[in-house]
Structure 1
Amino acid sequence: MERASPWQLFNTSWMLHRLSPLYHGKDFATLLDNDAALKAYATRLRDQLTGDVLAGLYSAASTAEDDALSKTGALRECRWEYFAAGPSQRDVRAGVSLPGILVTLEYENITYKAALLSEADSTSQARKGSTSLPLLLTKFPNALRQTFITFLSANFDTYCSNLRLPSGFLCTALETFVGELRSSGARSTADNTVEEVIKELQLTLAFSPSVAPALRNLNISISRSSLVDFLRGDTVKSTGRTLQQKLQSPLIANLTSYLEAHLAMKLDLDGSQQNQVARQHVRLSKVACAGFVLGSEGRVKLVVDARRAVDQEEEQDSPSLQASETLIRAVIRKATGDQVTT
């Protein structure tokens, strides 16, 4: 079976959704490893998009989106492809890495994509005739997104909802990404790897209107030259945190201590200090760096240099790709509901 390239997951700003299990037993016993099933659902979606269903949505769309949809041109191709999304490509010998489906809608002037992902091997589904793909990534205009979600609901009896990411999850995701980079190679080069992949780190804090009516957001930039200092804790003496908390989230712990010492802002972004007042009124809403972007509203972008895709075999085990796979696994677990964050 021809498979979609895992590199299609990168350099795209995705909107995140949570999906309940997809039931397809009335049509096909299996889904991910069934080329006939994927072609059948692709044909159904294409027929729906080229019919009168989408036309009814134009009137409900905004003027700007109406113009965008009118410029796409005719639908040339609708593809559903098996998608082994893990950059490490371990599915060849050691089991499927992040199995899923890549949906590609190729119009005359633009191509839209969606990806349905799971962390588990597709052959170990809990119930026959159903497939669990808890994370849905979409790169669609709103009208097209709603049509696609309606299609999934009608054909698979699945429920779709937006996946919001709380402050605690963003903190954990950042620490996980950095931790993977630092553990991917020799200790002597770990800091250099972090600097090379992260470069400048930008964090956005969101404030409750009740405490800061004139200040909705505050952007914090950590330069490449200062990033390692924050990881090591050389910027300021840590206050109010146990050794275990600092080991679990050193970057957030040191940044929080720095803000408290220099800006008199006592924060609890990751929830480790159980400061209910701080957690209620100040939260981390966005993390952005050269390696990834993650937003609380439910958006993610995994970034990779396009030149790295030229020789996939050489780059598939690079620290940045391993860190990206670890990050997307965390998002999948969040969609599944296995990971509890505050």
Structure 2
Amino acid sequence: MNKTFLTLSLILAFQAHAQNDNSCSDIAAFTCNAVVASDGTSVGSVKASKSEFTETLKTETFPAVQKAFIKKISSLPLEETARTTILAKISKMKFSTECEQLSNRLDESLWPNSFYTHSDNVFYLCKAKPGMSEFVVAKMIASELSEMINPCGINNIIPRPREKNESLEQSEKEYPIKGLISCLRSENTAGAKRDGSKAFKETKFCTDDQVTRSVSDWLTTEVVTDYISQKYDSHENNKENLTASQWRQGIANSYNSECSFDRPDDGFSEDLSFQRRMNSIVGTNPTLRNKLGCYNKAAYAYCDGSNPDAMAKVIGQPKAAGSGGGTTTPANSQGGVK
């Protein structure tokens, strides 16, 4: 048999399998049906002492995820002042596992957990265990960092004049990642809604709006994918590349615990359904889909935060909405983190 024909046949067969693969067509269902298992990654050794594990988190894992986060922010076409302010805040962040003082603010049923305090700029990682999946730990860190700069959290870093917070349309346009909110509101993507019964000037983005969590999910996916790719699938490290099965297991390990989160049967919820979150945000990242072995087209469109014009096209606009302050090209600086 002709070798070229055989190779092409194998490729087509593999792609056909991917198209019918439940883990690609419904990542949410795959995640919730998966059993927590090894995904080929771990933070330190499962036999490490508490002090050894804490040192690994403090000197290796957290700085590396922090660097991946900063690199992502640096790659986005933000207005320069906003970018500089965000990077300065994140690059100076301190890390701690001493969570006892936070016990009254954390639901211990959700531990291991993470927490951030704006007042002293400290990131807390609580009750993590030696040998935990790096997918899980990276997702915990990236998720908390993402909440700092989602449409609600960003006001703690870049305060806006009171009068500028009274218009939903203007606030969406002036969010630093231009076009992302509008993109995530589209039914072609996450379809994030707002409770129309509440005045924006009273709640802002902090309550009654699904786009806040959606932005956090989007940025978390970007950072975790970049971090795991760099550490395990990079020629810079002497590690064997993760397989598609390991990537799928890693994503399942990271989100499986959220499958049972309750949403109201009726009325408005600030969270998208788990299925919509996973399939329209997490599962649309092109790099992640490639790592998962999903070569078929995603059911939802991807919001490319680095390309406002591409996002405008996704939602049917001729070009990206004006920023009001202008954007800049991605920065070369990574906020002092090396």
Per the TM superposition, whether the score is higher than 0.5 is no
TM-score for the superposition, normalised by structure 1: 0.29
More strand by share: 1
Q: From the CA coordinates, give the structure whose radius of gyration is larger.
A: 1
More helix by share: 2
Q: Highest relative contact order (Cα 8 Å, sep 6+), 1 or 2? A: 2
